Amino acid sequence: MVELVDIVFWPCPMDFKYKDVRAMKDGEIAVAFINGAIRTDEQEEMAHLLRKKAQMVVAFGSCSHLGGIPGLGNFWDRETIFETVYGKSCPSIDNPDKVIPQKVSKVPEGELTLPGFHDTVKSLDQVIDVDYYLPGCAPPPYLIMKTINAILSGELPEKGAVLAPAKTLCDTCSRNDSKPEKISINEIKRISLTKADPEKCFLAEGIICMGPVTRVGCSEEGDGRCIAVNMPCRGCFGPPPGVKDMGAKMISAFASLIGLEGEENMSEEDVEKLINQVVDPAGTFYRFSLPTSLLRRKKMSKNRQ
Ligand code: SF4
Ligand code: SF4
């Protein structure tokens, strides 16, 4: 494989310079795999530069594909994040003048610059045209190899495809058969406080598992990587085909399972008590996908914008 390709830019392990990429001809790079969500001026500039220099762009990993965990920052705005990080986040912060990072700072030696920090986290395709998506946090090696082989052999699907199977994790999960005919959830348990039965479906046990709304493919064997180590799926592979908003889909699926066994109608009070057992609903249902969901970001009040 290594003899078939030249790596021309890979800033993490090797010391390539941006100026080397800028000096390339447009389209000179065959494929750019771009990871990470877009939050700063520098990330946005690099995305545009690589789009110009590459014939094909693959969004690599959950952050690039969906916005990822950094996308949960869209529940706040830039000012709130800076106020928290540089002011209130822990008692050891000593910043009486409330100094926050500036794009340009004057120092005796001259000017120091930092990339601008945007109000909203974006997925890669909200900034540039993307040809393919390689999902996962992180994408599994077997799928990376499959993608590279498909590129080398010219056997890629239609532009815009997610390069992973078109089923849900539940479709291939070995615990699916353990589900009762009708799941009835009357207690919501946290995995960190529960000894989960390694044979049983998490959801049927009252542990939130995003398997019903998550694309399969994180493991070659069929069971998800997390399921295989007795952890519920958190949804890093993104939605399967036909699902635009995996968080909303899961909330709706989950709501249909809530009920006290043997009781036809739960009181509103009981339902509320049960729902309140979901700790951090936004982080549970939108952990990887907020920037590409229908919500996209929280609208802040005018004086915060
Ligand atoms: S909800 Fe989770 S544990 Fe249950 S079948 Fe689906 S993926 Fe497997
Ligand atoms: S089980 Fe779910 S969260 Fe875990 S790696 Fe697979 S898709 Fe991602």
Map out the domains of the chain as residue ranges: 10-70+120-153, 79-119, 169-292
- Please check whether residue 262 is in contact with residue 253, taking contact to mean a CB–CB distance below 8 angstroms: no
> Is the shortest distance between the CB of 233 and ligand 2 below 6 Å?
yes
Residue 269 burial (CB count, 10 A): 8
At 120, list the tokens.
């909203």
Q: Which CB contacts under 8 angstroms, 24+ apart, belong to 2-6?
A: 4/152, 5/30, 5/148, 5/152
Indicate the fold that domain 10-70+120-153 takes in CATH: Rossmann fold (3.40.50)
The reply to whether ligand 2 has any atom less than 6 angstroms from the CB of 237 is: yes
Both tokens of 222, joined, read 């069929």
User: Which of the listed residues 233, 246, 284, 287 should we mutate to test ligand 2's pocket, taking the one with most ligand atoms within 8 A of CB?
Assistant: 233
Q: How far apart are CA 232 and CA 213, in angstroms?
A: 13
Cβ neighbours around 135 below 10 Å, total? 27
Amino acid 275: pLDDT: 87
Q: Give me the pLDDT at residue 305, please.
A: 45
Q: Are strands 104-107 and 110-113 parallel, antiparallel or unpaired?
A: antiparallel
Sign of CA dihedral 243, 244, 246, 251: negative
Q: What angle (nearest 5°) sits at the alpha carbon of residue 184, between those of residues 179 and 187?
A: 110
Helix ranges, the chain (H) = 18-22, 41-53, 62-66, 78-83, 141-153, 169-172, 225-228, 246-257, 268-275, 281-285
CA distance 134 to 219: 13
Cα 67 to middle of ligand 1, angstroms: 24
pLDDT of residue 301: 64
- Nearest ligand by distance to the CA of 237: 2
In degrees, rounded to 5, the angle at the alpha carbon of residue 171 between the alpha carbons of residues 168 and 172 is 105
Block mean pLDDT (10 aa), the chain, length 305:
86 89 96 97 97 98 98 94 88 88 93 95 98 97 96 95 96 93 88 93 95 96 90 97 95 83 70 88 96 89 55
Alpha-carbon gap, residue 277 to 194, rounded angstroms: 14
- Tokens 């389209």 sit at which residue? 27
Best substitution site from 63, 167, 201, 214 to test ligand 2's pocket, by max atoms within 8 Å of Cβ?
A: 214
Check residue 239 and give its pLDDT: 98
Q: ∠ CA 179-185-191 to the nearest 5 degrees?
A: 80
Asked if residue 212 has its Cβ within 6 Å of ligand 1, the reply is yes
Protein residue closest via CA to atom 4 of ligand 2: 226
